[in-house]
Structure 1
Amino acid sequence: MALIYQFGIILVALVVLDTVKSFADLDDDLSPSNRTGRRLGDRLKKPSMNLNNCETQTGHTGSCMTRFTCMRNGGTVSGFCGTYGVCCETNVQCGKTSKLKRTLIQTPTTIPTKCTYVFEPYSPNVCQIKIEMEEFRLQQPQSVTTGANVGDSVECNDRLEINDITLCGNNDGQHLYVPFDVAGGTDANVNLIFNLPSRDPISRWRLIVTQLECPSAASRKGLLPFAKNTGFQDLRNIFSSQNNDLPLLAPRGCSQYFTERTGTFESFNYNGGAGPYMSNLNYAICFQRQVGDSAIEFTFTDFGLPNEGVNNGYDADCHSLIPTTGRSDDYLLIPGAVVTSTLGALQPTYFCGTSSKGTKAIYAAAGPFVIYFNSDEYSSPQDLGFKITFNIA
């Protein structure tokens, strides 16, 4: 009898499973505030989940959803995807607000002196925003002409401001994670502000902004009352967008996060090796560590930071234990790294100078794979940046 009872539970779960998944996927296409008044015809269709990318007819990135959902959210249909979906561009204009899961923002026809995009939470579970810079080109950093650091520092005249990060120059292909603590009540919205006083005609941007959700505390409420204490999860939550976002969520505090096993990353405004990177940057670059991963190998394809010492550009050459005015404090920090050099095996933590170019560093320490970049308020001709290949083993 007990066996028949358990079989009945499993059979019901399997039947409900497909139905719930269909409706969960549909719910992912719209924010909670937009879920009323949908047509029955759209309920019967099963679109791809909102986080599925697609390629538009113009070769750019769009979101795969139903035609009705795309039009309702002010998007533009540009091609087809999935079984029933269309590739949708949800383009938000300067000065407007978006509550969509994924939003496209791009250069307006006329370059303004200021362009602000406001992002309100797609749901109460939003905890991060991922900004993918398909295209990002603003005026290069300029030498400071007023104040105490005249000629000794650079600043972004035309710039993008997101919280405490300021970017300018060429950042095509870069990405950035921004915290958006909706549940904690600390973030009502996130603003992306383009300040463009020069209105330089080279200014171009095309950014994909995705709101990512963390699992809610109520994600294990029972859907099947007769299956209480059997370990079944609420099937509505199994397929919610919160759980779909899990592979994309960056560890807390990471400004950049790479989930690939191998790839290449660059400093902001690497600019083909010409730089310069921006002053006053301090951010963490993280890499997904899976069960069984033992190490990550970094190959310094290109590397150029100021070097205050006479050695190989490690540790004390890069970062002084005693803060000293006017001394460079630009470095890439790789904890527990092992480097093979002409001096033999070294174990530096701070990297600077140019001698690391062409070398490899192995990071096999316990814990997450994370490195840090810091730039001070000063600038020099050596502020070129880095291009590094990584491989996780």
Structure 2
Amino acid sequence: MSTIQLKLSSLLIFVILSLELQLSTAQYDIFDMGLDNPLNLIWKNRQTGHNHDMSTRINCPTYDNNNRTGTCMTSTSCKFQGGISIGRSTCRLWNTCCVFEITSNQTSNSRVTYFVNPPNPRTRTQPHHVHIQLLQDVCQLRVDIISMRLAPPLVEPAMPAGVTSTCKDEYLQIDPMTSDNTLPAFCGTQNNQHFYVHLDQHNHWSTFTLSIFLDRPAAATSDATWDIKITQLECPRYRGTHDKQAKTDRNQLANDFYLLAPRNCLQYFTEPRGEVYNFGFVPTTMSTLTTNQDYAICFKRQPGSCGISFKVNHFFLRSKAPCDEEYIYIPEAVDTEKICDEIPAMPVTTLESIHPGPLYIHFHSDSVVETPTGQHGFHFEYNNVRCQNKKNL
């Protein structure tokens, strides 16, 4: 081999290694003046507490039947961290879309993690905990309950009258709790639901724990099952010239910003139209709300929108006028702001809230309510209303 060929081969090897290093360090510029030795990034990022590994910050779709969301990283890193490599997807060269599924007493530091039930969970009564190591600048967690089947709320008589409906036998719980997190109890059947956890960045928490408590005998005829997606969302902050986080993927931050919920919103719907229903509502079966709930459901105002409308598919709450025990409050609703009791499915009822402020509804339930007599809860179809001629967007 001639000298020129050797030089060209050496140059090609150097270029390939440089590209691999640049991609594996996830978009850090190796000529950044803040870095003395780019190779040190690989080791410095392996720290406990806040995870600074940029490879766990870029989401990617899997395009499979499970409709999972993964994170871009090298296949070696994916295997080393216990992930499942799905394929390249939208990731860059030499990276793979890695999906993280954990069951019980496991830890994940991925942007997106799936908490799934272990095999045969009905024979176990101990809690199932998963721990999420928080990335730097994470200010919210979005928890999507894809599906969950636990024991229903326990309905008990109260003195001197009425009933309580609480999650006592089996339920989902989070830790830590903050003053901003007025979370209701989660039990029974939950499908395609979500909620937000607002983190207090001044407390500098490094870990978030999600737990499911079971109390199901071995002779039970059905399994307790769950499939829960946990997404870490970052709040933008100023980064100095030499900050190693300065070269964060801007598209990912833009995606996070779109999903960030307004303060104190338990749920946040970002699409212009869709369905909203109470936790535990199952249209085809009898279900009941848990008592002692008080939270806000928020909706993203779309460009050109002057309000929001709600088509009532089902509405039955255990309270009558003046709606003190259990109600939904819709700010500046055209007909009435506070609704309770029962709204029949026919004729079709549509409620409109036309005003310039944030779009939300407020659900409230006392600790003791009237005895339920039917399918209990609410199910609306919402739609942003265009200001011009007040047509749906």
The TM-score, its normalising length taken from structure 1, stands at: 0.73
Cα deviations by residue, 1:173-216 (Å, 9 ceiling, x for unpaired): 111111122x3116453221211112553311011101111112
Q: Against the structure 1 CA distance between its residues 356 and 246, is the aligned structure 2 distance closer, same or farther, given a 3 Å change threshold?
A: farther
The reply to whether residue 191 of structure 1 matches residue 209 of structure 2 is yes
Higher deviation after alignment, 62-71 or 361-370: 62-71
State the number of aligned residues.
324
Does structure 2 retain, via aligned residues, the 8 Å contact 1:139–1:202?
no
Does structure 2 retain, via aligned residues, the 8 Å contact 1:96–1:116?
no
Q: Secondary structure at the match of 1:171?
A: strand
Aligned partner of 1:172 in structure 2 is 191
The reply to whether residue 349 of structure 1 matches residue 368 of structure 2 is no
Task: State the distance in 2 between where 1:383 and 1:278 align.
Answer: 13
The reply to whether residue 264 of structure 1 matches residue 275 of structure 2 is yes
Higher deviation after alignment, 88-97 or 256-265: 88-97
Listed as ranges, the gaps of 5+ residues in structure 2 are 1-21, 29-39, 45-53, 178-182, 387-393
Does structure 1 retain, via aligned residues, the 8 Å contact 2:134–2:207?
no
The reply to whether residue 276 of structure 1 matches residue 288 of structure 2 is yes
Task: State the distance in 2 between where 1:151 and 1:69 align.
Answer: 56
Q: Against the structure 1 CA distance between its residues 93 and 187, is the aligned structure 2 distance closer, same or farther, given a 3 Å change threshold?
A: same
Q: Against the structure 1 CA distance between its residues 51 and 356, is the aligned structure 2 distance closer, same or farther, given a 3 Å change threshold?
A: farther
Runs of 4+ that moved beyond 6 A:
21-24, 46-49
Does structure 2 retain, via aligned residues, the 8 Å contact 1:121–1:211?
no
- Per the TM alignment, residue 170 of structure 1 is displaced from its structure 2 partner at its CA by 1.3
- Per the TM alignment, residue 353 of structure 1 is displaced from its structure 2 partner at its CA by 1.6
Match of 2:69 among 41, 62, 70: 62
Aligned partner of 1:367 in structure 2 is 357
- Per the TM alignment, residue 133 of structure 1 is displaced from its structure 2 partner at its CA by 1.3
- Per the TM alignment, residue 334 of structure 1 is displaced from its structure 2 partner at its CA by 0.4
Give the residue type in structure 1 aligned to 2:341. G
The reply to whether residue 381 of structure 1 matches residue 391 of structure 2 is no
Give the residue type in structure 1 aligned to 2:135. S
Higher deviation after alignment, 203-212 or 119-128: 119-128
Q: Secondary structure at the match of 1:128?
A: strand
Does structure 1 retain, via aligned residues, the 8 Å contact 2:58–2:249?
no
Task: State the distance in 2 between where 1:239 and 1:23 align.
Answer: 18
Q: Against the structure 1 CA distance between its residues 121 and 150, is the aligned structure 2 distance closer, same or farther, given a 3 Å change threshold?
A: farther
- Per the TM alignment, residue 73 of structure 1 is displaced from its structure 2 partner at its CA by 2.1
Task: State the distance in 1 between where 2:351 and 2:310 align.
Answer: 5
Q: Secondary structure at the match of 2:341?
A: coil
Cα deviations by residue, 1:25-60 (Å, 9 ceiling, x for unpaired): 657xxxxxx96259xxxxxxx98962333244x524
Aligned partner of 1:322 in structure 2 is none
- Per the TM alignment, residue 258 of structure 1 is displaced from its structure 2 partner at its CA by 0.6
Task: State the distance in 1 between where 2:320 and 2:362 align.
Answer: 19
- Per the TM alignment, residue 102 of structure 1 is displaced from its structure 2 partner at its CA by 1.1
- Per the TM alignment, residue 271 of structure 1 is displaced from its structure 2 partner at its CA by 1.2
Aligned partner of 1:16 in structure 2 is none
Aligned partner of 2:329 in structure 1 is 333
The reply to whether residue 132 of structure 1 matches residue 138 of structure 2 is no
Task: State the distance in 2 between where 1:188 and 1:59 align.
Answer: 30
Aligned partner of 1:251 in structure 2 is 262
Does structure 2 retain, via aligned residues, the 8 Å contact 1:144–1:150?
no
Does structure 1 retain, via aligned residues, the 8 Å contact 2:148–2:226?
yes
Higher deviation after alignment, 195-204 or 99-108: 195-204
Cα deviations by residue, 1:328-361 (Å, 9 ceiling, x for unpaired): x1111101001xxxxxxx2x11111222643111
Q: Secondary structure at the match of 1:172?
A: strand
Higher deviation after alignment, 381-390 or 77-86: 77-86
Does structure 2 retain, via aligned residues, the 8 Å contact 1:334–1:349?
yes
- Per the TM alignment, residue 260 of structure 1 is displaced from its structure 2 partner at its CA by 0.4
Q: Against the structure 1 CA distance between its residues 124 and 301, is the aligned structure 2 distance closer, same or farther, given a 3 Å change threshold?
A: same
Does structure 2 retain, via aligned residues, the 8 Å contact 1:55–1:87?
no
Does structure 1 retain, via aligned residues, the 8 Å contact 2:134–2:208?
no
Give the residue type in structure 2 aligned to 1:294. C
Give the residue type in structure 1 aligned to 2:79. M
Does structure 2 retain, via aligned residues, the 8 Å contact 1:305–1:383?
no
Task: State the distance in 1 between where 2:146 and 2:282 align.
Answer: 15
Give the residue type in structure 2 aligned to 1:387. H
Aligned partner of 1:205 in structure 2 is 226
Does structure 2 retain, via aligned residues, the 8 Å contact 1:95–1:115?
no
Aligned partner of 2:80 in structure 1 is 72
Q: Residues 109-124 of structure 1: matches in 2 within 5 Å?
A: 109-111=119-121, 112-124=124-136
Does structure 2 retain, via aligned residues, the 8 Å contact 1:306–1:380?
yes
Does structure 2 retain, via aligned residues, the 8 Å contact 1:130–1:177?
yes
- Per the TM alignment, residue 160 of structure 1 is displaced from its structure 2 partner at its CA by 0.8
- Per the TM alignment, residue 81 of structure 1 is displaced from its structure 2 partner at its CA by 1.5
Does structure 2 retain, via aligned residues, the 8 Å contact 1:143–1:150?
no
Task: State the distance in 2 between where 1:149 and 1:177 align.
Answer: 36
- Per the TM alignment, residue 99 of structure 1 is displaced from its structure 2 partner at its CA by 2.4
- Per the TM alignment, residue 240 of structure 1 is displaced from its structure 2 partner at its CA by 7.3
Does structure 1 retain, via aligned residues, the 8 Å contact 2:111–2:231?
yes
Aligned partner of 2:42 in structure 1 is 36
Q: Against the structure 1 CA distance between its residues 367 and 25, is the aligned structure 2 distance closer, same or farther, given a 3 Å change threshold?
A: farther
The TM-score, its normalising length taken from structure 2, stands at: 0.73
Task: State the distance in 2 between where 1:64 and 1:125 align.
Answer: 17
Does structure 2 retain, via aligned residues, the 8 Å contact 1:127–1:180?
yes
Q: Against the structure 1 CA distance between its residues 294 and 118, is the aligned structure 2 distance closer, same or farther, given a 3 Å change threshold?
A: same
